[in-house]
Amino acid sequence: MDSILVTGNGPLNGQIPIAGAKNACLTLMPATLLSEEPLTLTNAPRLSDIKTMTALLQSLGAEVSSLQEGQVLAMSSHDLTSHTADYEIVRKMRASNLVLGPMLARLGQAVVSLPGGCAIGARPMDLHIEGLEALGAEIELKDGYLHAKAPGGLKGAVHEMRFASVGATENIVMAATLARGTTVLKNAAREPEIVDLVECLRKMGAQISGEGSPVIEIQGVDHLHGATHQVVTDRIELGTYMLAPAICGGEVELLGGQMRLVESFAAKLDAAGISVMETDKGLKVARKNGRVTAVDVVTEPFPGFPTDLQAQMMALMCTAEGVSVLEERIFENRFMHAPELVRMGANIEVHGGTATVTGVDRLKGAPVMATDLRASVSLILAGLAAEGETTVNRVYHLDRGYEHVVRKLESVGAKIERIKGQ
């Protein structure tokens, strides 16, 4: 298995291009199932999660071609041959459940394996099920699979979600595009990836309003047509690389970065002593002066501080001046990076959903283990600022969400290399 070797060195300077959003692409791809006509996505990120979704769509009979070195995905769901999302694919990636809503809407039936537990918590599907049932679906759990059907078609309804789940919002919105009548989804998630999905669905002929607010209204239509859509910038990759100059010093411009995607995160960085400036090409990040100061963080649904940047923010707080408290409110069990950071000399205490980090002068390189996608990149960030060498093992997690991480960090002066495993 490959590992990444990072050697702590000085400030980082230069530019890093930010890719299209993994999480947007993973919901835009299943949207192809809603139409017989082709859907083309541009600015797609080159990631293993995208390959997993490609395999899933192909297993349903969709055609998916990856063009221009993977940055363009040309899809067609003219002839679907299956309505079953198999456990072997779903278990690799929870986002596979995003085929449920579109298949149900287009085919009137869908069988989707439950994703099972995952490293960062239980992650059930009750909110998806409740929403689709409100639209008239009948859903049963048999042998680990959700069997969903809507024999007479889906019908629009008013539905309020108990929690603003990102995936449930996406599944319900996609299903409602082809339902009869109007759906009003209350307490909907407001993430930019949902706005991006709605913009794409609208290009396909869907009638939707209110995206980005807690109430989304969908007027069902008879069918959707083909479209071409550019995937929105990845705000989590953006935020991750914004932390590189924050942790190491120097000045890095994140090409394609937009403030509207990272407002609450940039506000926290500002409070910690890091300036984030908009430029005509993206966002430029540098320390204001000297050492970073500790700030407290609470993860929340958008527009709050994203859970997907909590691990990386913790890496910054490890060497900040003072004590910071990081509270994780979206996922239980999302502090698995903390003991690894402690191995590098960090002072962190975890109690339930709260981590208290007391800043130390310097971290020390160590062999560490990546436990999930965001945890792995937080260890790389910590390694960039540590004294000596850090080896991050189990980097396959990284390939799920960060394209060319070595090349991107190397281009701003980091000492980082991928070591091929046997």
> In the complex, which residues of this chain contact ligand UD1 (CB under 6 A)?
23, 26, 94-95, 121-128, 163, 165-168, 193, 307-308, 330-331
User: Is 118 a residue of the active site?
Assistant: yes
Tell me whether residue 192 or residue 365 sits nearer to ligand UD1 (CB atom).
Answer: 192
Q: How far is the CB of 332 from ligand UD1 (least distance, A)?
A: 7
Query: Tokens standing for 315?
Result: 């890496």
Tell me whether residue 190 or residue 284 sits nearer to ligand UD1 (CB atom).
Answer: 190
Catalytic residue, candidates 25, 118, 248, 318: 118
With both helix axes pointing from N to C terminus, report the angle between 126-134 and 166-177 in degrees, rounded to the nearest 10: 20
Tell me whether residue 122 or residue 267 sits nearer to ligand UD1 (CB atom).
Answer: 122
CB of 360 closer than 8 Å to CB of 343: no
Tell me whether residue 123 or residue 415 sits nearer to ligand UD1 (CB atom).
Answer: 123
Tell me whether residue 193 or residue 217 sits nearer to ligand UD1 (CB atom).
Answer: 193
**What gap in Å lies between CA 238 and CA 244, rounded to an integer?**
10
Tell me whether residue 47 or residue 286 sits nearer to ligand UD1 (CB atom).
Answer: 47
Active site residues: 118
